[in-house]
Amino acid sequence: MNVQATPQTTEWNIQRVLEWTTTYFTTHRIDSPRTTAEVLLAHALHLERIDLYLRYDQPLSSAELSIFKEFVRRRILHEPVAYITGQKEFWSLNFMVSPSVLIPRPDTECLVEAALELLPPETAGKPKRVLELGTGSGAIIVAMASERKGHCYFASEKSVAAAAQARENADIHGLTENISFFCSDWFQALRGDIQPFDMIVSNPPYVVAGEIDALAPEIAGFEPRMALDGDVDGLAALRHIVQEAPHWLQSGGYLILEIGSDQRTSMEAIALDCGAYQGVECIRDYGGRDRVMRLLLR
Ligand code: GLN
């Protein structure tokens, strides 16, 4: 199979296509070549991955083959699988993703865990008010709301396209009523007389601007800069949120932030400088890297 040419034959069955593509991806140094081939072929054929194995001998029509070849061509150009298939699993839930949102990362489940630990499963008639800043695909707030239904969730997003994506994801998971989405540059759209929040969570952009181009081409070439770019020192958004959050948090409330694995010391200094927090704690991800800061307001 030549991805450049249009084959005139239907001799390609699922097994042969998978074998050919696995070799092709290996040659082009694409990660997890076999899995990637399976995910893309299943998507092209509107099947589950497991179905491929049950239909190994099934031939592909030339229409199916050309759809699949286009997916392979995009992947070779380093487009992330999640943008090709339009979906990504996070917290065992399926999320729709497009290039207007950052693809949810497994590391970010650590942020969700750190937040859920502090949210009681029962509201006891007193639901907590939880705000996410820069929700993107909505993965974090949707995961939280799916686990602790009774609380009141709010999520801000600067990009109109991303906010629409987040709303769609909440809708898919039946949580439209539980989460209020609004367009805002961090706290900007909040009214001064709003009732304070019990918890604010965020995975803001925290990559040093000058280091973005050195990231994997899947990230640097395809994911929204706005969701990655933490300005000259990587800390601009984190610093802004740490300094602003005390105006919107209840006394004794928590600010929970995802950070880069080398940002712990800087974050501790920023929190201390701010003077509004009584406790600062850092939590590691499953790879043992510093990943989440939990700040307790005085
Ligand atoms: N963890 C992301 C990465 O892989 C960065 C996400 C962010 O800046 N919030 O680059």
* The amino acid at 50: I
Rounded to the nearest integer, the mean pLDDT of the chain is 96
Asked if pLDDT for residue 27 goes beyond 80, the answer is: yes
Q: For ligand 1, is residue 103 a contact (CB within 6 Å)?
A: no
- Measure 17 CA to ligand 1 centroid, in angstroms: 34
By most ligand atoms within 8 Å of CB, the mutation choice from 132, 133, 203 for ligand 1 is 203
- Coil, helix or strand for 165? helix
pLDDT digits (tens, 9 = 90+) for 237-296: 999 999 999 999 999 999 999 999 999 999 999 999 999 999 999 999 999 999 999 999
Query: Which residue lies with its CA nearest to atom 2 of ligand 1?
Result: 228
Higher pLDDT, 24 or 123: 24
Asked if pLDDT for residue 2 goes beyond 80, the answer is: no
Q: For ligand 1, is residue 104 a contact (CB within 6 Å)?
A: no
* The amino acid at 88: K
User: 6: pLDDT confidence band, cut at 50, 70 and 90?
Assistant: very low
Cα(58)–Cα(54) distance, integer angstroms:
9
DSSP state of 106: G
Are 253 and 198 in contact, with CB atoms under 8 Å apart?
Answer: yes
By most ligand atoms within 8 Å of CB, the mutation choice from 107, 206, 239 for ligand 1 is 206
At residue 109's C-alpha, the angle toward residues 245 and 239, to 5°, is: 25
Quote the pLDDT of residue 11.
Answer: 85
pLDDT digits (tens, 9 = 90+) for 54-101: 999 999 999 999 999 999 999 999 999 999 999 999 999 999 999 999
- Measure 18 CA to ligand 1 centroid, in angstroms: 31
Quote the pLDDT of residue 7.
Answer: 47
pLDDT digits (tens, 9 = 90+) for 181-228: 999 999 999 998 999 999 999 999 999 999 999 999 999 999 999 999
Q: For ligand 1, is residue 241 a contact (CB within 6 Å)?
A: no
> Which is nearest to 189 in space by CA: 156, 151, 161, 153?
156
Give the Å distances, CA to CA, from 134 to 92, 130, 166, 216, 219: 21, 13, 10, 23, 18
- Coil, helix or strand for 90? strand
